[in-house]
Structure 1
Amino acid sequence: MHRNTFTAGLLLAGGAFGLPGLSLADFAKDSKASLELRNFYMNRDFRQRGATQAKAEEWAQGFLLRYESGFSEGRIGVGVDALGLLGVKLDSGAQRSGTQLLKQDRETRRAQDEYAELGLTAKLKASRTLLKLGTLQPRLPSVAYNDGRLLPQTFRGGHLSSQEIDGLTLDAGRLTQVNQRSSSDYEDMTVSNGSAGGIGVKSSKTSDAFNFAGLTYQWSSQLATAYHYGELEDLYRQHILNLTHSLALSPQQSLRTELRAARANDAGSSNVDNDAYGAMLTYRFAAHSLGVAYQRMAGDTGYAYIAGSDPFLFNYVQFGDFANRDERSWQLRYDYDFAAMGIPGLTFMTRYITGDGIELGAGKANGKEWERNTDIAYVFQSGALKNLGVKWRNATVRTRHFGNDLDDNRLILSYTLPVW
């Protein structure tokens, strides 16, 4: 699409936000656009006895068009962002749907041939403070959008971010609806938390308001602390503390320490009651990284977060979050960058997580689970395929006394083409 035509269309959309009268040059300045092509194949085999579905297997093509305008001149700069999403079915079946790659028909549960979304965001900037209104993809401890399938999750609302004081970042906002990663419909939000064996949140209510606020202070290049608050109205309130420290041991060695603690309780119409604690140490030596994490749940329910989003947990991995009621879990992770062997663009990651002590209800044995993940990714560095990314993701999940046993494989090809 011609640059001026595309920008002019966004100017017209900006009028819907009450931003008329801005010149084309104001928006075009410093603007950028890109098109990401994402080809996603997923195969999940269910291994537990009595599984109602043998496997979920689908293949789809995604198109993600992103546009970011510049800002108009003046004390308050004005701009508009746009996000266009399209998912197209390449292969599915009545007995193989449910990977969340594709939107399903509400009645037949069959995967639809395609689904799409257009999101527009107005933005106002003054000094080092930015306000966004419209389609949002927040990445905060209190709420983080999920991008683990063909198309990403999006929200509607407002987000104010300010860095007027050196080292201090302030965030505040309100979300009103969510569009899940395999949907094209905005809807009210619900709460997700550890519910193994049916022991979890006992509320069927939805909410059209998630209020959040937080501050992060960078004390030095090595130390940062943060506090964040989130409230899904009528369902839960949550306080989150975070500390991150990096220690350089030598030019090729470092030790990263991160601590997290969260407290969530009922906001009127649920039984949410959770304390969550976690710590992770990561030792890096040249191209090698070795990490160890511990995560602990306490209270009457598991960890509370907006259903479909990414929870702020060390042991939230490819399949599980290891955040059930009373669960204790450990993670051991290893990463390697093959650039050290003369193969830039090739990376490897493997991790093993085990959890136990899961409360499943009166008279029942405690639940246990483990998960093993492996990622191998390569981004072509030159030639006709430059910037083409290929990733294979594998997960093996086994549980005791609850949940699904499964083997999960995903092959993802991605290529981002700058439009300008």
Structure 2
Amino acid sequence: MPRHTRLYSSLLLLTGTALGAASPAQAEFVKDSKASLELRNFYFNRDFRQDNAPQAKAEEWAQGFLLRYESGFTEGSVGVGVDALGLLGVKLDSSPDRSNTGLLKRDRETGRAQDEYGELGLTAKLRASKSVLKVGTLLPKLPVVQYNDSRLLPQTFQGGHLNSMELAGLTFDAGQLKEVNQRDSSDYEDMTIANGGARGITFRRGTTSDAFNFAGASYKWNDSLTTGYHYGELDEFYKQHYFSAVHLLPLGDKQSFKSDLRFARSTDEGTSNVDNKAFGAMFTYALGGHALGLGYQSMSGDTGFAYINGTDPFLVNYVQIGDFANKDEKSWQARYDYNFASLGIPGLTFMTRYLSGDNVDRGATLSDGKEWERNTDIAYVFQEGALKNFGIKWRNATVRSNFTNDIDENRLILSYVVPLW
């Protein structure tokens, strides 16, 4: 039996067993359960425009299947439940000279994209009052660690995560991650730090970590203001304190002004030289279907920003390709969004933005680094009829830099989510 058939057979068997075993006392376990299948078709093309590039372009096409199941909880003071995540990626087009897009798993020896790859993730969960503990496969989305879902299949982690909302307005999170499965892999491994670009981060060769500890809280003061503090520690690499504040100011009919402020302090922990202060601010004025945003981001200290390799850094200037988080980099962003629902076309959206960064420390003998990136997204989700929930998105990016790759990139993503129950 093919591996992907076994993968989904196991998940369906698990679901059927849970449903069949549920007694009247566990009615909420079944009643509150839900399942969906997402079909994700992804074409990725990245052209490297600089002279003497080691690879002319990366271009692949793949089909993804994401089967999600979430149970309810058994009745009682402590409820028990289970979640399951079945992932399958299938190659539609690739070749050795065009691989390494992040869509498909590659053979370690030949570099060729494999025909298929997948994962079955299980998560046990306990609920007491307004607190939930999850152990197993996790998709964390916190300021100090955010899983990456920008390709065919999402990045996943193994670990434990406690989320508590016992006090009104206060959300508390704590836990530990032990291993990571990257977005183009089916193998769990220890974690390491992102150190590409001109971050200036160094660490002892071969060092990895099997422990990322995190804790933090956010408090919603009212409908307009939310503040937060989170702590993350990647053992052997870095410690990080993250402060955030989001304020939404209504300005009248269909108008608002949003302020998003972020500050992180990162220091070394064990074998690295991490020393970074990251400040970011994004201000967005919205009027009807229009939204105009201006952002600024500043890096200071002996290195660039620190985060787990493969994850999405929680930075205002982290965009389609770049994060503008190199040593001493200063960057700004101008962004415009439009929702065509204002013109009577719900489901159609448009976004464009331009970012420019400079003052990157490339060493005493080199000039300061500079880079810019331009992004455009156009997306449409069918609102009714036979194609309801079918989405089409085109993403375009251009990057130019004097210290890293020059890139022209296009992504075409077709997605369809089918609720199973």
TM-score in terms of structure 2 length:
0.95
Rounded Cα–Cα distance in structure 1 between residues aligned with 2:105 and 2:16: 31
Contact (CA 8 Å) 1:243, 1:258: kept in 2 or not?
A: yes
Look up the match of 1:237.
239
Q: Deviations over 1:230-250 (max 9, x none)?
A: 000111000000011010000
1:169 aligned to which of 150, 154, 171 = 171
Partner-residue secondary structure (3-state), 2:15: helix
Contact (CA 8 Å) 1:194, 1:303: kept in 2 or not?
A: no
Amino acid corresponding to residue 201 of structure 2 in structure 1: G
Deviation at 1:361, TM superposition (A): 1.0
Look up the match of 1:406.
407
2:352 aligned to which of 350, 353, 358 = 350
Structure 1: give runs of 5+ residues left out of the alignment.
15-19
Describe the shift of the 1:78–1:44 C-alpha distance in structure 2 as closer, same or farther (beyond 3 A).
same
Structure 2: give runs of 5+ residues left out of the alignment.
1-7
Deviation at 1:386, TM superposition (A): 1.4
Mapping of 1:336-375 within 5 angstroms? 336-375=338-377
Deviation at 1:258, TM superposition (A): 1.1
2:52 aligned to which of 50, 53, 58 = 50
Partner-residue secondary structure (3-state), 1:192: coil
Q: Deviations over 1:287-315 (max 9, x none)?
A: 00000000000011110000000101001
Look up the match of 2:420.
419
Contact (CA 8 Å) 1:194, 1:301: kept in 2 or not?
A: no
Rounded Cα–Cα distance in structure 2 between residues aligned with 1:47 and 1:159: 43
Look up the match of 1:7.
15
Deviation at 1:30, TM superposition (A): 0.9
Rounded Cα–Cα distance in structure 1 between residues aligned with 2:18 and 2:117: 22
Rounded Cα–Cα distance in structure 1 between residues aligned with 2:309 and 2:363: 23
Deviation at 1:7, TM superposition (A): 2.3
Rounded Cα–Cα distance in structure 2 between residues aligned with 1:193 and 1:128: 39
Greater shift in the superposed pair: 64-73 or 20-29:
20-29
Deviation at 1:268, TM superposition (A): 1.0
Describe the shift of the 1:43–1:23 C-alpha distance in structure 2 as closer, same or farther (beyond 3 A).
farther
Look up the match of 1:110.
112
Look up the match of 2:148.
146
Rounded Cα–Cα distance in structure 2 between residues aligned with 1:208 and 1:412: 34
Rounded Cα–Cα distance in structure 1 between residues aligned with 2:364 and 2:203: 16
Partner-residue secondary structure (3-state), 1:172: strand
Q: Deviations over 1:21-50 (max 9, x none)?
A: 997745322100000000000000000011
Amino acid corresponding to residue 32 of structure 1 in structure 2: K
Deviation at 1:385, TM superposition (A): 1.3
Amino acid corresponding to residue 15 of structure 2 in structure 1: T
Look up the match of 2:325.
323
Partner-residue secondary structure (3-state), 1:7: helix
Contact (CA 8 Å) 2:26, 2:73: kept in 1 or not?
A: no
Contact (CA 8 Å) 1:7, 1:24: kept in 2 or not?
A: no
Look up the match of 1:279.
281
Rounded Cα–Cα distance in structure 1 between residues aligned with 2:415 and 2:204: 39
Rounded Cα–Cα distance in structure 2 between residues aligned with 1:175 and 1:11: 30
Rounded Cα–Cα distance in structure 1 between residues aligned with 2:189 and 2:333: 35
Rounded Cα–Cα distance in structure 2 between residues aligned with 1:123 and 1:251: 43
Partner-residue secondary structure (3-state), 1:282: strand
Q: Deviations over 1:352-394 (max 9, x none)?
A: 0000000011211011000000000000112221111000000
Contact (CA 8 Å) 2:58, 2:101: kept in 1 or not?
A: yes
Partner-residue secondary structure (3-state), 1:339: helix
Deviation at 1:4, TM superposition (A): 8.7
Rounded Cα–Cα distance in structure 2 between residues aligned with 1:195 and 1:85: 31
Q: How many matched pairs?
A: 412
Rounded Cα–Cα distance in structure 2 between residues aligned with 1:218 and 1:263: 23
Contact (CA 8 Å) 2:26, 2:74: kept in 1 or not?
A: no
Aligned-residue identity in percent: 66
Rounded Cα–Cα distance in structure 1 between residues aligned with 2:367 and 2:156: 39
1:84 and 2:92 correspond: no
Partner-residue secondary structure (3-state), 1:95: helix
TM-score in terms of structure 1 length:
0.95
Deviation at 1:200, TM superposition (A): 2.4
Contact (CA 8 Å) 2:60, 2:93: kept in 1 or not?
A: yes
Partner-residue secondary structure (3-state), 1:383: coil
Deviation at 1:11, TM superposition (A): 7.7
1:290 aligned to which of 285, 289, 292 = 292
Mapping of 1:297-308 within 5 angstroms? 297-308=299-310
Rounded Cα–Cα distance in structure 2 between residues aligned with 1:109 and 1:66: 30
Rounded Cα–Cα distance in structure 2 between residues aligned with 1:183 and 1:249: 47
Deviation at 1:199, TM superposition (A): 2.6
Q: Deviations over 1:63-117 (max 9, x none)?
A: 0000000100000010000000000000000110010100000011110000000
Amino acid corresponding to residue 243 of structure 2 in structure 1: L
Runs of 4+ in 1 over 6 A off after TM superposition: 1-4, 20-24
Rounded Cα–Cα distance in structure 1 between residues aligned with 2:249 and 2:224: 7
Give RMSD over aligned pairs. Answer: 1.9
Deviation at 1:202, TM superposition (A): 3.2
Look up the match of 1:17.
none
